[in-house]
Every structure is written in structure tokens, then in C-alpha cells.
Amino acid sequence: MSKIKGANVLVTGGANGIGKLMGMKCLQEGAANLIIWDINEENLLQTQKEFSSKGYRNVYPFLVDVANIDDIERCATEVLLEIGNVDILFNNAGIVAGNKSFWEYSSKDIEKTIQINISGVMHVTRVFLKDMIKQRRGHVVNISSASALIPLPKGSVYASSKWAVLGWSESLRMELELEGGDLHVTTVCPSYIDTGMFKGVKAPMLFPLLQPDDIASKVIRAVKKNDILLLQPDNVNIVPILKGLFPPRIFDTVAGWLGVYSSMNTFEGRPEADKVPEKSVKAK
């Protein structure tokens, strides 16, 4: 079982939403240090201030654009030199582009989604993984999506990025298991979460909007138990079974009737992210 107590924990996209909640829960579990990477400086400093007011002085905010490899490598070097090896990594940062048919997406929409949701996840893991392997201990948590298991009309670019994360994450898990040691990967595939990221979506029948605190708590439990996959809500677990049992047209009929295929039609999402700053910030 992975121990959060005494561990150095890094959460990308950790100044907002479930990333912030998972960071708080790791502090409550006794994490030695919480390292927060986020693109929003105001949220970063506010989160550090909030956690500090609750008695947690071991919080280190870094302003990082995970779409920028140079940014990742520079800030990773600072973390390794000044704080130490990362024991538990939460790849939580991501964006959602939706409510468009594929041919309506701009090249910028596609590239930004790939850079943040796929390349960013891989490169952040890459810069910390070798030290995990050297110490024969570490846990990587990748936030994918239930959309990695099913078609998502009007969300094809987002869904494709999460399919990629799921395939890569499961492959990485097998590689680390073959490597041996106390090395683990947990892949999280939640349905829509009730945060600003998914503003406007219409939750399908039988798949209600997930509450952020509840899903964050379940992720922490999954990490402590070294769970391989966490699909939420629980009935998402039946999706791969139904896809295997039903011919595609019948499956599509059922999914359409449940409202899965129309869920992104009213998607609004968050406003455009702040401009990417050039320097990282750290707690003094």
C-alpha cells in the first residue's frame, strides 16, 4: 500500500478543483511536502495562503505551464534540488474543448489539448520517474476520463486525449510492474465532475454529476490501496462489458438513449486560461 504520510506529493493543476482537494487531503494524511504546479498565479498563492492558515507550512507553489517542456524541465530541476524526489505524482492538469464537431475545431484547439492533456502528462512523469525507479518506490496517478471508454460527440478532441492517457497509463503500469519494486500507477476515469471545467454539460441518465470532494476522497483511497483503475461513478465499470457484449449499433442506441451522446451539446466550460507567465514562483 502506498503511504502518503511522509511522502513528497506533487499535484499538477493543484490550485483549483479536484487537484486542490486532493492536495489538501494529502496534507491531512501527513504528506511531508505538497508541491503544487499550476498555470494560475493568483490561485496558486491563494491556495498556499489557505493551506498555511490551516497550519500547513510545507506547501510549495510553482507557476508551471505543462504544455511547455522547457517549463516542466526547469521547474522539475528546482523541485528535485530544493525539495527532493517526488514520491507521489498526481497528473491532474487538463483542459476541455467541446461543443464542436471535429471539423469545427481550430488547429490551436487541437494542439493545445494534445500539449496539455497528453504531452504534458507524459513529460511531467518523465522528469520524475527515473528517480522513483532509482529509489524503487513511487506512485503515479493519472486523471483520465470515462470518455476514454466511449465515443463523445461534440467532444472528440477531449475524448481522444483521454483515450491516449488511458492507453499510455496502463502501458506504463505494466512497464513499472516488470521493473519491480514498490512502483505503482493508478488511472482514474471519472464521468463529469461538478466543477467549472464542465460547466453546461448535461449529465447522462444513470451517470449523475460527481461531487468534487467525493471523487477526490475516492482517488486518495485508491492511491493508498494501490488500485489499478478507478472508474466513477461505479456503474461506469459496466461500460467496457456492454461494449464487448453488444454490437456497436446496439451499444450506440443504448448510449444515445441514456443521453451520453448529447451530453456535450450544451457545454460551456471555463473562460480562457490566463496568459502563461515566464517564471515559476515558489513559497519563501
**Partners of 10 in beta bridges:** 35, 89
The length of the chain, given as a count of residues: 284
Contact 73, 244 (CB under 8 A): no
CA distance linking residue 12 with residue 34, whole number of Å:
11
Contact 204, 265 (CB under 8 A): no
DSSP 8-class letter at 32 = S
Contact 236, 189 (CB under 8 A): yes
H-helix or E-strand spanning residue 162: helix 156-179
Distances (CA, A) of 96 to 26, 145, 148: 26, 11, 13
**Catalytic annotation, pick one of 56, 60, 158, 261:** 158
Cell of 196: 467549472
CA distance linking residue 174 with residue 178, whole number of Å:
6
- Catalytic (active site) residue 158: yes
Residues tagged active-site: 158
